[in-house]
Amino acid sequence: MTFPLLRLSDFSGSTSRRALPRPRALVCALALAAWPGLMSTPWAQSQPTGSPGRFSGTPPATAPREEAPLPRPATAPLPNLGSPDAADLPASEERRILRDLRRELARYPDNFADPELNAYLDHLIAKLAAGLGTSRPHLEIYALRDPVLNAFAMPGGLMGVNSGLITAAGNENELAGVLAHEIGHVEQRHIARSIANQKSAGLWTLAGLALAILAARSGTSSGDNVMQAAIAGSQGLSVSQVLAFSRDAEREADRVGLRLLTEAGYDVSGMVSVFQRLQAQGRLYESTGPIIPSTHPLTTERIADIQNRTRLIPPRPPVDTLAFRLFQARAMVLAAQTADARLQLRKVFDARMQPGVQIPGEPEATAFVRAGAAYGLALIELAEPKTGTQATDAASGQRALTQLDRAAKEAGFAPTAPGSLQAQAAQAGKLGAARPMLVAEPAQLLFARARALSRLGRQADAVALIQAAGDSGGMPLLFRDAMAQAFLDINEAGQAAAILRLRLAQQPDPAPWLVLARCYAELGDKPGQLRAQAEHYFMIGAFGSALQSMEAARKTPGLDAITLSQIDARLREMRDAKRIEDEELKKRGEPTEEQRERQR
């Protein structure tokens, strides 16, 4: 199966994301064993490839096969943030800041939190960071719904990229150029050095600063209030001093970025072209809020310096991929939240479908660009709310299928027919052995095709397509997340929950716990929903919210003695974690979680 977004071979060296920081001796992560009956499902037969999960620092262990339907404590490796001696800011303190930033991003409404977008970005930064070798720092990246052309790096290796920049990138090469530059800032520990120089500011205030930046981008009155509150609590911390980079820092990041681009096989001139285009638009790295000046000054001198460096590097053809075009189209559709916005986006995709027509400001209509546009048109059809009228919903589903057929053909794949999957299953039955389904299309197209078939009332065919996407001989963790989301999108919460339970047994991450909670909500399992929510909160360091959810689960009527005992044991672990955390915060003179919540 061809799956350019989440191919198994692509993830053997994936950059680890978000290993959970915790109080000194207490492990704040969980492993979940396989639940009853799970291993009988087709996707559960495939073992993971050993690619790390989003928050892992080492490859996950093989999934336990014993029956144990309960979360249990397990270790989660911390991210490698570099030697504490390598910079003034100790790694332990940087991890604490990183956890606070994650907690704020988990609450940020414009964090896409989309498994398919995350998978592509994780793969891209892993490819770029491979050039750092053993010195590769911890990196994790988020896609944000924000029209501002911006990408940024923050403490602990956290990176963000706005939908505006994703949309403006002319190809994968240009997006890689911007991200390689941001990885350079992380690798050179520019922000860590800047924070260490702010001796008078408490470290917790940077999390408030991050909240202020995110709130400023929201452009709402409530966002302004949150921003002002965060600034008021910053104890004089200078935003520009912490986040703005000097010219020397920019040159260092450019130098590292150019090296990473070269070693990853990209054309280094792509960094120059994207910076020139974005400088011409006058919008790169500018905040919509009043508190951030340009944090990445794009001067003519700096661009000239990059050009001088690139002259010494042999040119290569710019890199563009089908994976990027599908990723870009998906981000553009997810960013279009209103019917009017989707109407305008439809016009953009229609224009990209015209071969041989070059529209100013738009990429050349190559086969990959046309495939991405057709995929985007299908997603627009599927983004429209269901009307409840069978004929209307079926019509939108059929239009989506037509666009997905076009996308597959433009990309050089034969559209997958559910009938062919049934024929393969029948043949496997005759042979008396389970055989993986053979499909050519990328899984992104298969997942969208399943949603379209579900609208047509062809639920069995939709399920078969998603299962076929998983019959590839193994599934990376991020693929499991996308697959579970695909099942949830067609109202198959039970199948999605089964995948997530197995996925969490391999590597516990916060986001899948939250999706699992949604699955349990749709299944009417209130205790399961509350317990999954509690684990999500616990992993992002929101211990108070975790305890509230777990205590609410305990109060659910009708629980048996075994379930009550399991919940009680987990409550003790969570209370211990919160107690240790609060004690450390008090020693450092920092506010506890409750005190910070009251200051919001």
pLDDT, residue 282, reads 57
**Distance in Å from the first CA to the final CA of the chain:** 49
Does 175 or 288 have the greater pLDDT score? Answer: 175
pLDDT tens digits for range 166-210: 999 999 999 999 999 999 999 988 877 777 766 444 544 555 555
pLDDT computed for residue 9 by the predictor: 34
Q: What is the band of 143 on the pLDDT scale with cuts at 50, 70, 90?
A: very high
**pLDDT for residue 15:** 42
CA angle centred on 576, ends 574 and 581, rounded to 5° = 95
What does the alpha-carbon distance between residue 161 and residue 121 come to, in Å, rounded to a whole number? 9
* Mean of pLDDT values over 554-570: 96
Question: Average pLDDT in the 104-115 region?
Answer: 89
Quote the CA–CA distance of 286 and 79 in Å, as a whole number: 30
CB 29 within 8 A of CB 18: no
pLDDT number for residue 459? 94
Angle at CA of residue 261, ends 257 and 263, nearest 5°: 115
Chain segment 427-458, per-residue pLDDT in tens? 555 544 444 555 678 989 999 999 999 999 99
Whole-angstrom distance, CA of residue 45 vs CA of residue 40: 7
Of 9-18, 152-161, 465-474, 489-498, the range with the lowest mean pLDDT is 9-18
Whole-number pLDDT of residue 298: 57
pLDDT tens, position by position, 484-504: 999 999 999 999 999 999 999
- Summarize pLDDT for 81-90 with one digit per residue, the tens: 444 344 467 7
Q: Assess contact for 279 and 235: CB atoms under 8 A.
A: no
Specify the pLDDT at position 424.
Answer: 59
SS3 assignment, position 203: coil
Share of the chain above pLDDT 70, in %: 69
Map residue 151 onto helix, strand or coil.
strand
Residue 260 has a pLDDT of 95
Q: How confident is the model at residue 243 (pLDDT cuts 50, 70, 90)?
A: low
- Measure the CA–CA gap between 32 and 600, rounded to whole angstroms: 34
Cα three-residue angle 592-597-599, rounded to 5 degrees: 100
Q: What percent of the chain has pLDDT over 90?
A: 43
pLDDT band at 99 (very low <50, low <70, confident <90, very high): confident
- Residue 289, pLDDT > 80, answer no
279-283, 320-324, 366-370, 373-377 — which is least confidently predicted?
A: 279-283
Looking at every residue in the chain, the average pLDDT score rounds to 76
pLDDT at position 107 over 70? yes
The pLDDT of residue 306 is: 80
pLDDT digits (tens, 9 = 90+) for 230-240: 444 444 444 44
- Sign of CA pseudo-dihedral 279, 295, 103, 290: negative
Residue 362 backbone phi and psi in degrees, to 5: -110, 150
> What's the rounded mean pLDDT across residues 392-402?
95
Of residues 541 and 80, more confidence is placed in: 541
pLDDT band with cut points at 50, 70 and 90 for residue 213: low
Q: Is 382 exposed, middle or buried (0-12, 13-18, 19+ CB in 10 A)?
A: buried
- Answer for the pair 138, 81: CB distance below 8 angstroms, yes or no: yes
Contacts of residue 587, defined as CB under 8 A and 6 or more positions apart, other chains included, come to none
Report DSSP letters for 5-50, one per residue: TT-GGGGTTPPP--PPP-STT----EEEPPPTTGGGSGGGGSPP-S
Cβ neighbors of 147 (< 8 A, separation 6 or more) are 162, 163, 164, 335
pLDDT number for residue 475? 58
Place of tokens 């609590």: 233
Per-residue pLDDT tens for 192-202? Answer: 777 776 644 45
What does the alpha-carbon distance between residue 291 and residue 314 come to, in Å, rounded to a whole number?
41
Is residue 497 within 8 A of residue 525, CB to CB? The reply is no
Q: Between 558 and 228, where is the model more confident?
A: 558
pLDDT over 60 at 132, yes or no? yes
225-239 core/surface letters (b: 16 or more CB in 10 A; e: else): ebbebbbebbeebeb
> Mean pLDDT throughout 522-541?
96
Q: Are strands 158-162 and 151-153 parallel, antiparallel or unpaired?
A: antiparallel
pLDDT of res. 476: 67
Judged against a pLDDT cut of 70, whether residue 474 lies above it is answered with no
- How far apart are alpha carbons 127 and 261 in whole angstroms? 9
